[in-house]
Amino acid sequence: MKILSDYHVHTSFSGDCNISAEVMIEGAIARGISYLCLTDHMDYDYTDGAACFEFDPTEYFRRLLLMKEKYAKQIDLAIGIELGLQPYLSKKHHNLVFSHSFDFILGSVHLVHCKDPYFPAYFKGREEEEAYLEYFQCVLQNLEAYSNFDVFGHLDYVVRYGPNQNTYYSYQKYREIIDEILRSLIKKDIGLEINTGGYKYGLGVPNPYKDVILRYRELGGKIITLGSDAHDPQFLAYEFDRVYALLEECGYHSYYIFHNRTPEEIGL
């Protein structure tokens, strides 16, 4: 199956990546990717851990516009960003989003009350189920606070790092709040990302689960983007053949790319 699109990719503009944009773009071209969107982290006030997830958007655009021109005949390069959502950052995010002509805005939750589930401290001293539920509650709070982005990233991100990962996790266990999240996304015309990082982290499934992807469609959701969450060229379009098959199983006939924050449908 031909790989066409990867819409969640990081470069050295992200605090957790040391690979240049040029190397990532060339890696995508080598893999036959037709549509690539760089979505570097902008997590204002990231206080958990030593990394800084902020960059200069003016320099970002200067560099990526040069890359866009350089590789124009080889790949469709979109300039995106991954916003690290926190409810009190709405005004700051609003100013950033309108400061430059982004093609695509990915909204994700990495911090839950200043703690990142990536670190074991988030789970310390409490039940895994409680920690997962708090994450989903935080997602809902963020959607209520700010919704000027295009697609929500790795909806069940928290499951990657739980003590038992997805051993005891299921959509049914959190159905009520996940459905509320999905209805909010649909109401606000925000798409859902299928993120293959779950395969990389050993879950055997993407983020979110198949049941969540299916439920999104049942509730009327249409906009799906595909993202590898790659921080290294070797993980570009990672396990996308499995995702394409999964989309077909769930009754989808297409997924989406974005230009100037406008969704464009690509058939499977």
Convert the pLDDT of each residue in 175-221 to its tens digit: 999 999 999 999 999 999 999 999 999 999 999 999 999 999 999 99
pLDDT at 1 over 60: no
pLDDT at 2 over 70: no
Q: Which of 10-24, 42-56, 63-77, 235-249 comes out lowest in average pLDDT?
A: 42-56
Q: Taking the model in full, what pTM does it have?
A: 0.96
Gap between the Cα atoms of 79 and 104, Å rounded: 7
Gap between the Cα atoms of 253 and 249, Å rounded: 10
Q: How many CB atoms lie within 10 A of CB 49?
A: 13
Mean pLDDT of the chain: 96
Residue 48's pLDDT band, with cuts at 50, 70 and 90, is confident
Question: Which residue type does 29 have?
Answer: I
Q: Which residues of 191-209 are buried (b: 16+ CB within 10 A; e: fewer)?
A: bbbbbbbbbbbebebbbbb
Question: Which residue type does 25 have?
Answer: I
